[in-house]
Each structure stands twice: as structure tokens, then as C-alpha cells.
Structure 1
């Protein structure tokens, strides 16, 4: 079962995000606090949205998708950028990941959004195979660039 996250889900979302960071070998980089998540998802100007995957029998949260809107200047419409998709290891293979992506695809179609896109680590071959089985294709002509921490501050303070 997939449902929209509520403010009561912030603690479990925080836990799942940290589990994802550990899986991606980057736990030290996961610095978001529950308060920051609450503000981003449920504050006066939400910057992101989340869906929870629950075990069909117990109702226990087993995964999540956290996403935000982007915009294509070429298509002239919004799209969804999936920031994180995670399903706990013990629940993988149960259809939760596909159900989360299906829900986001439905939102795109219902709202007239032109894209659903995300990034995946090159070493994460199980996820790559899963995404490709759904019809997703890598955008090999693009390379992601990122400014953070000192480099971001240095650029921001340039005259």
C-alpha cells in the first residue's frame, strides 16, 4: 500500500533516509534533522513531497519516495525529480519500489507533468536493472555537477 506521508511520518522518514544513506555508504553525509524534514514537507511553503510504502499485512512502513517538482524549459511543463527511493532490504522484491514509482508516474500523468527522473549510483546494479525493467533509460549524455560546502560558499562570495 502506498500513501502520502503525513507529519506523523517524519520520524520514520528520518530513519529510512538514514538507512538509505548507510546503504549508499554515505551515512556521514545524511545531516538532515527531523525538524528540517518537517519544514520541507509540511511547512508553509513545502519544497518536497513524500510517499510511504507500507507492508500490506502489518501496515508497517517499509519504504519511501521523496520528490520535488522540476521544470523543463524545453517542454514548458513541470516534472517530478525523485530525490530518494528506498525500500528496506527485508521488504525488497515485494513490489513496494514499483508501487512507489507507479504512484509518481500517475501523479505525472494526472497533472500533465512531462517527466519523472532520478539519479542512481553507478555501482547500484540491482537498482539499475530494476529501473530498466520498468522502461527507464539512463541519460548518458548528461553528467551531474554539484556545488556544496566550501566550493558553494566560495562561489557565493565572489565579487
Structure 2
């Protein structure tokens, strides 16, 4: 298979891109051997990206016909030590026919540019330990954070712990718009 003639262009995701992004998320889940665990719908992604209070952002790599062939979905995190936001890259995916065209690098360069422009100090992501993209990430200067171990609380364990919490009706009210946090009282 030959590579496309021109490298894809990077632009912010638009509402019309949602079906293609969702399809690629499902392709990514299949690649990661977890297709049965991916339930993302177009309605969910549309709300997350374009709803009244979006907390998820996206960029797409598009071909000459403006069709998405890759994407990066990301959100802001915050470093309490640095005192500034950063970008957490939730997913990066480029369709197989467009790998090697520079689309992945261009998506990451776009996010790095947002970090620099806005004064963010970090661009971070997780990757499965068997993913061959590790070589690519190393080639752009990304380093694995071997001393940090990710943790996840979900499913029954998440619900069990939540049941131990104080209900919002008995919590003292914080300033409007802020979700009260029991960590403030601990």
C-alpha cells in the first residue's frame, strides 16, 4: 500500500468529525485488544467536546478531502508543584494507511504548541507497555515515567468507596460552582 501523496493537515475537531473520531476510537480499542470494553457513542463524544461545559478537546489530522484520518483527544490537568496546567493526551490514533506520513508527530506538535503558547509545562500520556509507538515517542524526546505507577478506581470498588462518603446534602457548601471535596476536611 502506498502512502498518501501529501501529509495530513491538523485542525481542531468539529461537530461533523464526531462520527469519524468515534469510529477511530473503536479501531484503537480493537488494536489495544479491548474492543469489548469500548462503548463510546457519537452522542457522548459530541457532548464531551461541544456541550455546554466541554472539558475534553480534540484535534484531527485530515486528508486532502478534509476527512479525519487521525485524532488526538485531550484535557487539562494541573501540576500543584509547577502551579500551572498541562495537557493530558487521552488518546492519539492515526489510521494505518496514514501512519508514516507525519500525522502523529504533527498532532503531538500541535499539542506541544498549545502548551508553549499557554504556558503549560507538561504534555503527558499513558501507553500500553507492548505498543511499538514507544520508539516513536522516544525519537521526539518523550521519556517513560517509570517511577510513577498509575492507579484506577472503577466499577464496584468506585461505588463502594463513594457509598462511604458524606452525602452532598450534609456537606458544608463551598463557593458556588465548586464541587465540595472531602479532601479539604481530611
TM-score by length of 1: 0.96
1: CA distance between counterparts of 2:34 and 2:94?
Answer: 17
2: CA distance between counterparts of 1:49 and 1:29?
Answer: 22
- Aligned with residue 146 of structure 1, among 122, 141, 152: 152
TM-score by length of 2: 0.82
Residue 180 (structure 2) aligns with: none
Residue 118 (structure 2) aligns with: 111
Residue 31, structure 1, aligned to residue 26, structure 2: no
Higher helix share: 1
Give the superposition deviation at 1:58.
Answer: 3.6
Give the superposition deviation at 1:148.
Answer: 1.1
Residue 17, structure 1, aligned to residue 22, structure 2: no
2: CA distance between counterparts of 1:135 and 1:46?
Answer: 30
Report how many residues are paired: 157
1: CA distance between counterparts of 2:155 and 2:97?
Answer: 35
SS of 2:81's equivalent in the other structure is coil
Structure 2, unaligned stretches of length 5 or more? 1-8, 166-186
2: CA distance between counterparts of 1:36 and 1:156?
Answer: 23
RMSD: 0.9
1: CA distance between counterparts of 2:153 and 2:96?
Answer: 31
Deviations 1:36-81 (A, max 9, x none): 11111000100100000012x3433110000000000000000000
Deviations 1:82-131 (A, max 9, x none): 0000001111011000000000000000000010000000011x210000
2: CA distance between counterparts of 1:108 and 1:135?
Answer: 16
Alignment of 1:1-150 (within 5 A): 1-55=9-63, 57-124=64-131, 126-150=132-156
Structure whose CA Rg is larger: 2
